Amino acid sequence: MLRILKKINILMDRKQKAAMARLLVMMLISAGLETGAVMMVMAVVQLILTPEQLAQGETYQSICRMLHLQNTVQFSVLAILFLIVLYIAKNSFQFILQRSLYRFVYTNQFQTASNLMKNFVRRDYEYYLNAETAVIQRSITADVSNMYALIMAVLQIASESIVAVFLVAALAVQDIVMTVVIAVILVVTLVVIKKIIKPIMNRTGKENQDYGASMFAWIAQTIQGIKEIKVAGREQYFIGEYCKVGRGYVKAMERFSLFNNTPKLLIETVSIAGILGYILVLIVTGADVTGMVSLFAAFVIAAQRLLPAASRINNQMTSMAFNEPFFFNVSDNLVEETSAENTDISYAVAAKEKLPVTRQVQLCDITYHYPNSDRLIFDHASVCFPIGKSIGIVGTSGAGKTTIIDILLGLLKLQGGKVLADDTDIQEHYREWLANVGYIPQMIFLLDADIRKNVAFGVPEEEIDDGRLWHALEEAQLDSFVKGLPEGIHTGIGERGIRLSGGQRQRIGIARALYNDPEVLILDEATSALDNDTEAAIMDSINRLHGRKTLIIIAHRLQTIEKCDMVFRVEDGKVRSVS
């Protein structure tokens, strides 16, 4: 619990902590109203059962004088009406407390999910080289939801504990022995339950986390590979693997539900047995129990509130044990330096001005190896790409062709060297450099949206320049096709561009790269997945830009780069000219 509270203290800002403080104050008021209601019920019961004894009390006489009451009947009517008003006030305030509690939890749950998404977006490209998409999706969705289930549990425990303390204190004034006996029995029961149940729930939470990520993964893989799955006739395999993971998830949830509800029965049994056992001892020892009827009534009424409170405290404790792995996964992702630093994406805006480059782009003394690997991809490599030229880059698989592109794009952190646009380090004006670069990968990432939004990728709809968009489509030789569509640029292309051919998808990628009219156009094996005829048509569109753009083309087929002005080979950690 202490670790969780420390983590919450780090995660939450001053505004959130102030909101939690207000909730605690409201919980104290609610506990006071709960206790007052129980004590008032005891007074009314005593008034009904022994009015003569009550009439002799100083409190009764003082109230009668102050309110001009004539007898116990009038006092009883007033007391019962007051009790009704007290219960209305108590439950109305409890409603307000619950509303405030849920608003706090769910508002901050979305804020945390948003912060976590920002945190993942901020991470270096290298992080995603080994990241699992399903785990990231689960972290932002299910893990955050379970994290706030834990925070809700903490707040519920605080609320129920405050009520329990107030009620126990009030009962202790009436009968300290009986109160201590019942309290000790309850505490011992809760400790035993915690020792047995918490490890099981914690283990179940971790299993649920693992099975949840695997279910996400199998769903994603099945949907993304549905064409290949159907052609290979492997539907049963993928459904079988999903169901295998699902059965583990079901068993984990069964254990959670079982052990979450069992303690309630145990607590109720032990507590009632304790109260009845205490009464039995009084009877056996010959104590006068007739004068203790109102006291027993108070204990029964208090027990009706205390037993559910103890049960809910236990349930929330087991819920916390179950949700702990999710909580620490989210908090560890957010709290590496400070939350503000990890979620600040104010830097992530498109540059209004482009970084000028008129002479050359240089890789100067580049040294690079991937994380978790000591093998150098580039070892003090240098190369110069003149502006306005068409440049081909070849090499064997794994030599570093794509790596050199990622370095040019500034996505990788170099161990040595730098990339210069003319004489300017691109990292010093990174966003301005990206504004002057167009990138066409082998597999074009397409939104499940219309052609307009896919070409003007990431540009708010109201800011899209249709003139620039049509010019880009024309350069990509896709304008005639789009004009022939019933809805033109507003035609939807389906998930991952499923309604388009491979060549059309690549041409949308070309149009996207040209939308901002960059000086440098980078193609990373952009035609390698196409058939020869389609590749020739795409390369014809690219070669039409010869002399107007600086073309840097990664290729594994020589015919792809046959019209390049110069060709470089990547090998042995160097970049060497071959023409």
Residues 553 and 436 in one domain: yes
Q: Return d(Cα 439, Cα 446) in angstroms, integer.
A: 14
Residue 71 resides in a domain: yes
Please report, for the domain that includes residue 86, its CATH number: 1.20.1560.10
Residues 302 and 396 placed together within one structural domain of the fold:
no
**Domain check: are 461 and 562 in the same one?**
yes
CA 357/CA 153 separation, integer angstroms: 58
Q: In which residue are the tokens 């079982």 written?
A: 258
Nearest one of 347, 351, 361 to 521, comparing CA atoms: 361
Same domain? 157 vs 72: yes
Record the pTM: 0.64
Q: Identify whether 373 is part of a domain.
A: no
Q: pLDDT tens per residue, the chain (579 residues)?
A: 667 777 676 667 788 888 888 888 888 888 888 878 777 777 777 677 666 666 666 766 777 778 777 777 777 778 788 888 888 888 888 889 888 888 888 888 888 777 778 777 777 787 777 777 767 777 777 777 777 777 777 887 788 778 778 777 777 776 777 777 777 777 777 777 777 766 776 677 677 767 877 887 788 778 777 766 776 677 788 888 888 888 888 887 777 777 766 666 676 677 677 767 777 777 777 766 555 665 666 666 666 666 666 666 766 766 666 667 767 777 666 655 344 556 666 666 777 788 888 889 999 999 988 887 888 888 888 999 999 888 888 888 878 888 888 898 888 888 899 999 998 998 888 888 888 888 888 888 888 788 888 888 888 888 888 898 999 888 888 888 888 888 888 888 777 777 778 788 888 888 988 888 889 999 887 776 676 777 778 788 888 888 888 899 887 777 777 788 898 888 888 888 886
Same domain, 401 and 291: no
The domain boundary, picked from 343, 365, 394, lies at 343
Measured CA to CA, the distance from residue 528 to residue 547 in angstroms comes to 23
Residue 421 lies inside a defined structural domain of this protein: no
Residue 338 confidence (pLDDT): 40
Q: Which residues are within 8 A (CB) of 507 and not within 5 positions of it... i.e. 6 or more apart?
A: 476, 477, 478, 538, 541
400 belongs to a structural domain: yes
Do 339 and 449 belong together in one domain? no
Residue 438 and residue 310 share a domain: no
pLDDT of residue 150: 78
410 with 403: CB under 8 angstroms?
Answer: no
| Total residues belonging to the chain | 579
Running DSSP on this structure, what letter comes out for residue 17? H
In this structure, the answer to whether residues 319 and 405 fall within a common structural domain is no
What CATH number is given to the structural domain containing 539?
3.40.50.300
Domain of residue 313 covers 2-343
pLDDT given for residue 470 in this prediction? 92
Q: What is the pLDDT of residues 432-461, one digit of tens each?
A: 888 888 888 888 888 878 888 888 888 888
Domain count, the chain: 2
- Last residue within a domain, chosen from 343, 375, 401: 343
Asked whether residue 432 is assigned to any structural domain, the reply reads: yes
